[in-house]
């Protein structure tokens, strides 16, 4: 029986894999080097897409739909995940007013000092006035305290 | 199963304290008195049942034939070949220690009668659980079951020390627990190795101690470079746990701390029974299963025993805390047991086995008395005590009795074991070792005898300072507060001021009831030790025989072919 | 009555006082001031039984027949009560060693058969035991009666009688036991009773300390006895004195059994034998307060005076004499050890007498006198002749009477002087206390060795035994009667007295091989056994006799003569003691005066004792000498005593007793003796303090090194965690980087692996 998807040439596979690898590497560097949560998130997506490209390429190479099905599935999951992750990022920003991953060092050992590398230049813009929703009940304690460090990234 | 069959009887003895713990817990809402009474009743029932079982054992044909008695074997963790059983039974080695556990548990309950005011439910429940564990460890005939009981004695005592102890109770409890656990984990590995080796060579995975002993006798662990010195490694693994438990110097430092911080009831059980587990372990496992390694290590462990005798006595000599002094005396006395055991002579090993019971009686009595002194005067500092003999003559008389027992006065129990150990050691030193070892052995035996003088020195010094001299009123007002932030002691101090114990300092009925049974056995063993030696003789002989033979073989090897001075052991 | 077997009677002797002790203890609170009743009833009954036994045994031995042609038959009876402990097959004697049973033809105990470790609680009756049992119980009875008056009103009245009775029990068992282990048991038991009685007034710190000291010093002696017991067990494979019948019908020879004694080579000499004997000697030194272990006895005077009289003068302290006499055959095989016994004894006698001359405490004078007299007995025992052994026991008997009398007299003085015992604070008491003074004088005359009081005869025999060894040719009749040593051939020069090589030499060599270097020391010790040594010892004994007379009469003169003075503490008590105390004094004065003469002139005791199995051993029996009264020695002894008494009279008779005492004679020596030759300080400085220092070091070592090590080990995981925890910076990128690096490493490793 003739396969539905004929096996492609090795050259196509190679090219696709190179593209996938480049995407993955870019994402990795982005995750490791950037501290902005949103950028890191985007980088993670980039890595995922790199993998997806290689999956598709291999799928094509082997003439098997499995890989492509999986990619579709991954994309779906990634979309959900993006929604959840962005909620966390937003919440993190709402808590600290920052998108710096370094603001969240609570997992470190209690005896170690906070890691502070070079500080970002202070913003000359006016601190934005965030809209406040009227409280429905009692104001939770500490809600009106000043933001922890910097207002924005 | 016939409820009066020996096996069922044994199971009932083991279960009774657990039921009693449950009852104490249920009665917790009725207050301290109800709890302690129920605990005492449980302990008495257990003691009577255990004593009856001991008598049945002595009268049984199994005892005469050297067979285990009251054997129960139920499946427990069984999965195809893997067969861990709830296997219980008593034999000549364990019978007296089993009885002693039941006896001392009653003592522990009675000495806590007034001393424990806070959270009595937990205290008595734990004390009874501890009793079950102690009884179980001597009745276990399965390696895993033994180990479970062996470890389970730690848990109740950990809480007893940690919750009802004195100022540094937390440190003491943690140190005690971790130190002994660290050793016994290695012991567990050693025991597993034995099981696996046996399984590999006999084809059956058995955890039964007797089967393992037989299996290892047929297929000994290798004691050479080709076999990777496996027997040595296993011996050292077992040694780690047992030596810490004994404790053999220099693994003893947890003991004084644990004793000083423990509540009296805990000290009684700790000194009376738990210290015996190490020696019991050596007798149960190391000597019969690993004879070559035991024989090779014997001179060194013998030496450690002697070092412990002298060292413990010397350190005891400068203690200022009465309880710590007695704790170090325990170190010294356990040195005699270690020495006797590794002399590998019938007289010495039987003496050491008897000495386990003797030390259990005398040290438990002394710790109980120190607790009573502390209840009355709120100090254990020898310098602030004095003249108790004129205030509390019965207390003083019993203190003297247990002191005499402890320093081995003939006619009392301590002497019998000590003398047999020393006689056996001399015999070993004189004609049982090769010429190269003889001077060292003789010197060690002489040192051990000199330890008897030192033992009398520190104990009589303490007696002189604490019991004799002009009657002294230890400062009551402030001193008991400074160290004792714990509420129990404040509450108790307040109580003592108005209690009968403060006005008439002599023993109350429950204290007499705690001590008199011990005193009876102190005399009984001293005057007719044959009663107690005879049932153990066969078991002990069988257990030590392989090691003694291996030792003789080593010594004749060292001395060349067929020397005249090596004793061929029976 | 004739249906009662001697075995039953023998058991009754210790049993009755034990029953008395238990009853007193149980009923003490209820009996209150009548608490002496059970104790005294028990001791009295025991005394009666002991006398019956003595008479019975004497009948068995028979009368002295005058001629010594026929050796005396040994008389002994064994009664085994129960088996104390048994361990089967405990010991297999190495073939051909000294430990093998001698005379293998006798029993089935051929070398190579394993031997059980069997300790029977067996009592024995022989002349030695019968004599001592009678002494212990009779004097015990008299002292107990005296105590009714002396201990009157003491709050510890029942306790005193309970322990007192317990002591009589223990002491009876000690001399009746027929096994070295049981001897050891009661050796310590009498020590414990002594501890309890010295510390009787435990509220006094001095009493408590003295009790502890007595026990500890005795423990050092017990150490010797323990070692000796172990060595005996190793050498002979049994601890029994007597022969026992093993289940297979063969005779197992005891150490001092007749089987072994009949065999010339049965007793092991040489290095092992000497070691055993020296250990026994150490034990005897502890119990009998001989140098260097005598320091406890003077302090023991803190106890009640009746206890001092019975325990620390008449009976317990003579246990050492008993032990050496009982082990006579063992000592006979080791001439060096015998010599050591005499040297220790004579030295102690002299030193203690010197110290006694400057004591001002009446009881302490008597205590040092006791030490000195015990030294006398040791000197006599060490001569190793039948005369020496019997003379020692003879002196033991007379000494028991007169020293108990003197102590009770001192107690009577103390009682009426309101517990003041310093002789400088009273004087001229003969007018206040005529009975006490008269009886005390009798005791003093006996102690000083004035004829015809009892001490004179026993002391004369001791001097004779020493003289016999120093000048063997002067006593021509026992020319070749010196100890026949089984060891002689190997280590003694041939020109010494009494060499007699025996069959034991082959075994001896083997025994020597067991202890590498010891033979040299033994040889040196044996080398001391020369007539010159014995001559020195004799002169020491003679000087001691003079000193004894001096310090005794110094005490008599200071206490009873001169102007009458009474300390304030006495109050209305300053009168003669009540009859319950005075009558015992009179009772004791009778034997103190005449027992010596009677026993000496009839030779009854000597003959009786020579039927003791230990003394019928060929080595001992061969030294028997015809009974003789040595006029020259008697004159020398009496002269020494007379000189002593005269000097004492010059110094003290009729003077005020609080005047300058010995200082004017002795100068700095007085300080030296008054400080007991600084021996206590020496022990404190050389033994106690260093040991305490060592203990302190050990305690510090324990806390800081051993426990420190444990804590260090416990800190290791924490320290390790301290290093690793630095990696937990909390920075997300670093974690991610670490993860990436990890994956990379694995990938690279896999690639490396799959490369080829």
Residue in this structure with the two tokens 């004087």, named with its chain if needed: C427
The length of chain C is: 756
Give the whole-angstrom CA distance, residue B255 versus residue B335.
14
Report pLDDT digits (tens) over C369-399: 999 999 989 998 888 888 888 889 989 999 9
- Please tell me what DSSP assigns to residue C564: -
Nearest CB to C114 within list B457, B527, B570: B570
- Residue B420 near residue C85 (C-beta atoms within 8 A): yes
pLDDT reported for residue C525:
76
Q: Does C192 touch chain B (CB under 8 A)?
A: yes
What is the sign, positive or negative, of the torsion defined by CA atoms of C182, C188, C191, C192?
A: negative
> What does C278-312 look like in DSSP terms, one character per residue?
HHHHHHHHHHTT-TTSTTHHHHGGGS-HHHHHIII
Return the SS3 of B206: coil
Q: Give the burial class of A85: count Cβ atoms within 10 A of its Cβ; 0-12 exposed, 13-18 middle, 19 or more buried.
A: middle
Helix axes C270-287, C518-527, angle to 10 degrees: 70
pLDDT reported for residue C486:
38
Number of other residues whose CB lies within 10 A of the CB of residue C442: 23
pLDDT at C231 over 70: yes
Is C91 in contact with B430 (Cβ distance < 8 A)? no
- What mean pLDDT comes out for the span C93-121? 54
Residue B16 or residue C665, greater confidence = B16
Write out the H or E segment, with its range, that includes residue B83: strand B82-90
Nearest CB to C208 within list B178, B317, B468: B468
Q: How far is A5 from chain C (nearest CA, A)?
A: 31
Q: What is the pTM of this model?
A: 0.83
Return the SS3 of C264: coil
- Residue A93 near residue A149 (C-beta atoms within 8 A): no
Is B427 in contact with C707 (Cβ distance < 8 A)? no
Give the whole-angstrom CA distance, residue C652 versus residue C658.
10
- pLDDT bin (cut points 50, 70, 90) of residue C106 is very low
- Residue C695: phi, psi to the nearest 5? -65, -40
Is C733 in contact with A101 (Cβ distance < 8 A)? yes
Give the whole-angstrom CA distance, residue C14 versus residue C10.
8
| Residues contacting residue C118 through CB under 8 Å, at least 6 positions apart | C83, C85, C86, C87, C238
Give the whole-angstrom CA distance, residue B201 versus residue B193.
12
pLDDT reported for residue C484:
40
Is B460 in contact with C216 (Cβ distance < 8 A)? yes
- Residue C394 near residue C413 (C-beta atoms within 8 A): no
Q: Does B318 touch chain C (CB under 8 A)?
A: yes
Those chains having 3 or more beta-carbon pairs within 8 angstroms of chain B are C
Q: What angle do CA C672, C675, C676 make, to 5 degrees?
A: 90
Give the whole-angstrom CA distance, residue C180 versus residue C280.
11
- Please tell me what DSSP assigns to residue C450: -
Return the residue of B nearest to C696 by Cα. B318
pLDDT at C694 over 60: yes
- What mean pLDDT comes out for the span C456-460? 86
Residue in this structure with the two tokens 């190490």, named with its chain if needed: B278
pLDDT reported for residue C663:
62
User: What is the ipTM metric for this complex?
Assistant: 0.85
- Please tell me what DSSP assigns to residue A100: B
Is C731 in contact with A33 (Cβ distance < 8 A)? no
Write out the H or E segment, with its range, that includes residue C252: strand C251-252
pLDDT at C487 over 50: no
Q: How far is B195 from chain C (nearest CA, A)?
A: 30
pLDDT at A80 over 90: yes
Residue in this structure with the two tokens 């305690």, named with its chain if needed: C699
Q: Does B194 touch chain C (CB under 8 A)?
A: no
Those chains having 3 or more beta-carbon pairs within 8 angstroms of chain C are A, B
- Residue C263 near residue C316 (C-beta atoms within 8 A): no
Whether A and C touch, i.e. at least 3 CB pairs below 8 A, reads as yes
- What mean pLDDT comes out for the span C656-676? 70
- Residue C123 near residue C186 (C-beta atoms within 8 A): no
- Residues in chain B within 8 Å Cβ distance of C199: 468
Which residue, among B139, B130, B100, B118, has the nearest Cα to B39 in the 3D structure?
B130
- What mean pLDDT comes out for the span C641-651? 84
Whether A and B touch, i.e. at least 3 CB pairs below 8 A, reads as no
- Residue B244 near residue B278 (C-beta atoms within 8 A): yes
- Residue C636 near residue C467 (C-beta atoms within 8 A): no
Lookup: tokens for B335: 């040195």
Give the whole-angstrom CA distance, residue B24 versus residue B26.
5
Q: Does C5 touch chain B (CB under 8 A)?
A: no
In sequence order, which ranges of C472-578 are alpha helices (DSSP H)?
488-491, 505-514, 518-527, 531-560
- pLDDT bin (cut points 50, 70, 90) of residue C497 is very low
- Residue B522 near residue B405 (C-beta atoms within 8 A): yes
Q: What is the mean pLDDT of each run of 10 residues along chain B (570 residues)?
A: 79 91 87 87 92 89 81 81 84 90 92 84 91 92 91 90 88 89 91 90 86 88 83 91 89 89 90 91 91 90 92 90 91 92 89 92 92 86 83 87 90 89 87 81 89 89 85 55 40 39 67 90 89 86 87 76 42
Whether B and C touch, i.e. at least 3 CB pairs below 8 A, reads as yes
- Residues in chain C within 8 Å Cβ distance of A114: 730
pLDDT reported for residue C557:
85
Write out the H or E segment, with its range, that includes residue B79: strand B69-79
pLDDT at A72 over 90: yes
- Residue C369 near residue C556 (C-beta atoms within 8 A): no
pLDDT at C502 over 50: no
- Residue B87 near residue B140 (C-beta atoms within 8 A): yes
- What mean pLDDT comes out for the span C227-242? 84
Residue C86 or residue B445, greater confidence = B445
Helix axes C434-448, C531-560, angle to 10 degrees: 170
Nearest CB to C219 within list B178, B452, B567: B452
- Residues in chain A within 8 Å Cβ distance of C728: 107-109, 112
Stretch 62-101 of chain C: residues touching chain B, C-beta under 8 Å: 82-92, 94-97, 99
- Please tell me what DSSP assigns to residue B208: B
Provide the number of CB pairs (under 8 Å) joining chain B to chain C.
Answer: 170
> What does C307-336 look like in DSSP terms, one character per residue?
HHHIIIIISGGGHHHHHHHHTHHHHHT-HH
- Residues in chain A within 8 Å Cβ distance of C731: 101-102, 105, 108, 115
Is A101 in contact with C732 (Cβ distance < 8 A)? yes
Nearest CB to C234 within list B430, B529, B570: B430
Is C733 in contact with A105 (Cβ distance < 8 A)? no
Report pLDDT digits (tens) over A4-33: 555 557 888 899 999 999 999 999 999 998
Give the whole-angstrom CA distance, residue B127 versus residue B119.
13
Stretch 202-241 of chain B: residues touching chain C, C-beta under 8 Å: none
Q: How far is B280 from chain C (nearest CA, A)?
A: 20
Give the whole-angstrom CA distance, residue B307 versus residue B302.
9
Return the SS3 of B506: coil
| SS3 assignment for C169-209 | HHHHHHHHECEHHHHHHHHHHHHHHHHHHHCCCCCCHHHHH
Peptide bond between residue C292 and the one before it cis (omega within 30 degrees of 0): yes
What is the sign, positive or negative, of the torsion defined by CA atoms of B196, B198, B203, B209?
A: negative
In sequence order, which ranges of C81-156 are alpha helices (DSSP H)?
127-150
Beta bridge mates, C120: C83
pLDDT reported for residue A77:
92
Is B570 in contact with C707 (Cβ distance < 8 A)? no
Nearest CB to B347 within list C90, C96, C187: C90
CA distances from B399 to B152, B275, C176 (A): 32, 21, 30
Residue C435 or residue C521, greater confidence = C435
Give the whole-angstrom CA distance, residue C239 versus residue C229.
7
Number of other residues whose CB lies within 10 A of the CB of residue B415: 24
Nearest CB to B460 within list C181, C187, C215: C215
> What does C383-444 look like in DSSP terms, one character per residue?
T-SHHHHHHHHHHHHHHHHHHHHHHHHHHHHHHHTTS--BGGG-B-TTTT-HHHHHHHHHHH
What is the sign, positive or negative, of the torsion defined by CA atoms of B462, B468, B472, B477?
A: positive
Return the SS3 of C88: strand
Which residue, among B525, B225, B469, has the nearest Cα to B351 in the 3D structure?
B525
């Amino acid at each position: 029986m003739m396969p539905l998807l004929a096996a492609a040439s090795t050259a196509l596979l190679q090219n696709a894999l190179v593209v996938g690898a480049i995407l993955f590497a870019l994402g990795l560097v982005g995750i490791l080097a950037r501290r902005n949560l949103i950028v890191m998130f985007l980088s993670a997506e980039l890595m995922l897409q790199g993998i997806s490209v290689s999956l598709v390429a291999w799928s094509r190479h082997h003439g098997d739909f499995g890989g492509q099905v999986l990619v579709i599935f991954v994309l779906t999951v990634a979309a959900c995940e993006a929604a959840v992750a962005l909620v966390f990022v937003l919440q993190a920003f709402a808590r600290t007013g920052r998108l710096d991953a370094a603001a969240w060092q609570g997992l470190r050992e209690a005896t170690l000092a906070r890691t502070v590398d070079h500080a970002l230049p202070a913003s000359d813009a006016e601190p934005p006035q965030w809209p406040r929703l009227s409280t429905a009940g009692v104001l939770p304690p500490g809600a009106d305290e000043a933001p922890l460090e910097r207002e924005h990234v | 199963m016939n409820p009066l069959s020996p096996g069922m009887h044994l199971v009932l003895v083991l279960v009774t304290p657990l039921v009693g713990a449950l009852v104490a817990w249920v009665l917790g809402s009725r207050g301290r008195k109800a709890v302690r009474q129920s605990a005492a009743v449980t302990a008495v029932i257990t003691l009577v049942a255990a004593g009856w079982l001991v008598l049945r054992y002595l009268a049984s044909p199994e005892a005469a034939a050297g067979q285990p008695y009251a054997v129960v074997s139920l499946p427990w963790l069984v999965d195809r070949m893997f067969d861990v059983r709830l296997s219980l039974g008593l034999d000549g080695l364990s019978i007296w220690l089993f009885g002693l556990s039941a006896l001392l548990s009653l003592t522990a309950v009675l000495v806590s009668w007034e001393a424990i005011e806070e959270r009595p439910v937990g205290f008595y429940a734990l004390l009874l659980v501890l009793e079950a564990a102690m009884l179980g460890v001597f009745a276990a005939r399965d390696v895993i079951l033994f180990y479970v009981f062996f470890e389970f004695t730690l848990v109740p005592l950990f809480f007893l020390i940690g919750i009802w102890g004195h100022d540094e109770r937390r440190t003491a409890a943690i140190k005690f627990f971790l130190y002994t656990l660290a050793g016994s984990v290695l012991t567990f590995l050693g025991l597993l190795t034995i099981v696996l080796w046996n399984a590999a060579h006999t084809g059956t995975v058995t955890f039964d101690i007797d089967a393992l002993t037989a299996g290892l006798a047929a297929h000994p662990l290798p004691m050479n470079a080709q076999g990777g010195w496996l027997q040595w490694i296993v011996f050292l693994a077992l040694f780690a746990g047992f030596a810490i438990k004994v404790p053999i110097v220099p693994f003893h430092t947890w003991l004084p701390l644990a004793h000083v911080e423990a509540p009296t009831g805990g000290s009684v059980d700790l000194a009376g029974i738990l210290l015996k587990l190490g020696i019991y372990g050596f007798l149960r496992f190391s000597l019969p299963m690993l004879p070559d390694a035991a024989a090779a290590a014997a001179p060194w462990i013998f030496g450690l025993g002697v070092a412990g005798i002298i060292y413990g006595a010397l350190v005891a000599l400068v203690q200022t805390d009465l309880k710590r002094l007695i704790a170090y005396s325990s170190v010294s006395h356990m040195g005699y047991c270690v020495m006797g055991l590794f002399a590998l002579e019938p007289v010495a090993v039987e003496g050491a086995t008897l000495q386990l019971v003797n030390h259990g009686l005398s040290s438990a009595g002394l710790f109980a008395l120190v607790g009573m002194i502390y209840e009355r005067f709120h100090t254990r500092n020898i310098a602030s005590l004095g003249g108790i003999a004129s205030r509390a003559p019965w207390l003083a008389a019993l203190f003297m009795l247990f002191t005499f027992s402890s320093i081995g006065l003939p006619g009392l129990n301590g002497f019998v074991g000590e003398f047999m150990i020393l006689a056996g050691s001399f015999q070993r030193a004189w004609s049982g070792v090769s010429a190269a070892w003889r001077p060292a052995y003789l010197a060690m035996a002489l040192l051990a005898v000199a330890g008897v003088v030192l033992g009398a020195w520190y104990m009589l010094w303490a007696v002189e300072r604490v019991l004799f001299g002009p009657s002294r009123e230890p400062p009551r007002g402030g001193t008991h507060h400074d160290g004792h932030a714990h509420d129990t002691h404040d509450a108790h101090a307040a109580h003592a001021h108005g209690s009968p114990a403060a006005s008439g300092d002599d023993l109350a009925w429950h204290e007499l009831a705690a001590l008199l049974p011990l005193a009876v056995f102190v005399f009984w063993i001293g005057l007719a030790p044959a009663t107690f030696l005879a049932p153990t003789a066969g078991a002990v002989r069988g257990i030590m025989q392989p090691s003694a033979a291996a030792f003789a073989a080593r010594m004749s090897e060292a001395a060349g072919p067929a020397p005249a001075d090596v004793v061929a052991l029976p | 009555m004739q249906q009662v077997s001697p075995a039953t009677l023998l058991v009754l002797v210790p049993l009755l006082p034990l029953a008395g002790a238990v009853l007193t203890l149980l009923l003490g609170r209820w009996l209150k001031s009548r608490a002496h009743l059970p104790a005294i009833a028990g001791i009295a009954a025991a005394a009666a039984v002991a006398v019956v036994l003595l008479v019975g045994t004497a009948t068995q031995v028979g009368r002295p027949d005058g001629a010594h042609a026929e050796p005396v038959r040994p008389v002994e009876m064994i009664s085994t009560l129960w088996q104390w402990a048994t361990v089967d097959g405990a010991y297999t004697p190495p073939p051909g060693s000294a430990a093998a049973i001698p005379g293998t033809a006798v029993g089935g105990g051929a070398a190579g058969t394993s031997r059980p470790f069997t300790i029977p609680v067996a009592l024995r009756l022989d002349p030695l035991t019968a004599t001592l049992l009678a002494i212990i119980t009779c004097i015990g009875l008299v002292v107990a009666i005296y105590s009714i008056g002396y201990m009157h009103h003491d709050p510890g009245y029942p306790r005193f009688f309970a322990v007192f009775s317990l002591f009589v029990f223990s002491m009876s068992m000690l001399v009746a036991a027929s096994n070295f282990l049981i001897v050891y048991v009661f050796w310590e038991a009498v020590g414990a009773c002594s501890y309890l009685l010295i510390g009787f007034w435990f509220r006094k710190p001095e009493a408590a300390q003295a009790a502890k000291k007595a026990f500890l010093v005795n423990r050092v002696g017990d150490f010797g006895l323990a070692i000796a017991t172990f060595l005996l067990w190793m050498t002979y494979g049994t601890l029994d004195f007597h022969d026992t019948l093993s289940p297979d019908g063969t005779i197992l020879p005891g150490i001092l059994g007749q089987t072994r004694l009949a065999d010339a080579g049965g007793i092991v000499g040489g290095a092992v034998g000497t070691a055993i004997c020296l250990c026994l000697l150490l034990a005897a030194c502890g119990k009998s307060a001989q140098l260097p272990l005598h320091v406890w006895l003077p302090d023991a005077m803190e106890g009640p005076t009746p206890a001092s009289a019975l325990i620390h003068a008449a009976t317990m302290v003579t246990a050492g004499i008993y032990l050496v006499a009982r082990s006579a055959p063992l000592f006979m095989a080791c001439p060096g050890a015998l010599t050591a016994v005499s040297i220790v004894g004579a030295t102690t006698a002299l030193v203690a007498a010197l110290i006694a001359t400057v004591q001002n405490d009446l009881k302490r004078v008597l205590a040092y006198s006791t030490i000195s007299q015990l030294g006398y007995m040791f000197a006599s025992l060490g001569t190793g002749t039948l005369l020496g052994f019997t003379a020692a026991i003879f002196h033991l008997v007379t000494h028991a009477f007169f020293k108990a009398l003197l102590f009770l007299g001192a107690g009577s003085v103390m009682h009426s002087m309101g517990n003041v015992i310093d002789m400088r604070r009273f004087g001229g008491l003969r007018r206040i206390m005529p009975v006490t003074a008269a009886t005390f004088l009798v005791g003093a005359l006996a102690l000083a060795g004035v004829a015809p009081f009892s001490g004179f005869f026993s002391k004369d025999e001791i001097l004779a035994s020493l003289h016999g060894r120093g000048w063997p040719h002067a006593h021509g009749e026992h020319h070749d009667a010196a100890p026949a040593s089984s060891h002689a051939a190997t280590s003694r020069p041939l020109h010494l007295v009494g060499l007699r090589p025996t069959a034991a030499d082959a075994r001896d060599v083997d025994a020597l091989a067991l202890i590498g270097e010891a033979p040299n020391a033994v040889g040196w010790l044996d080398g001391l056994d020369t007539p010159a040594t014995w001559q020195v010892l004799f002169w020491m004994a003679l000087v001691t006799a003079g000193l004894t007379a001096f310090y005794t009469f110094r005490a008599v003169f200071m206490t009873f003569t001169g102007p009458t003075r009474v300390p304030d503490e006495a109050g209305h008590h300053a009168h003669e003691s009540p009859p319950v105390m005075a009558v015992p004094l009179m009772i004791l004065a009778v034997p103190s005066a005449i027992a010596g003469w009677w026993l000496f002139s009839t030779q009854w005791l000597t003959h009786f004792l020579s039927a003791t199995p230990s003394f019928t051993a060929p080595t001992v029996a061969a030294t028997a000498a015809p009974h003789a009264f040595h006029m020259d020695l008697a004159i020398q002894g009496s002269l020494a005593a007379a000189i002593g008494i005269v000097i004492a009279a010059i110094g003290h008779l009729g003077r005020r007793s609080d005047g300058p005492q010995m200082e004017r004679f002795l100068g700095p020596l007085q300080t030296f003796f008054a400080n007991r030759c600084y021996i206590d300080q020496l022990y404190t400085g050389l033994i106690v303090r260093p040991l305490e220092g060592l203990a302190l070091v050990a305690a510090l070592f324990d806390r800081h090194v051993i426990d420190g090590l444990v804590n260090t080990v416990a800190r290791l995981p924490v320290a390790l965690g301290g290093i690793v925890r630095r990696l937990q910076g909390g920075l997300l990128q670093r974690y991610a980087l670490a993860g990436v690096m990890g994956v990379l490493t694995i990938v690279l490793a896999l690639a490396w692996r799959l490369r080829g």
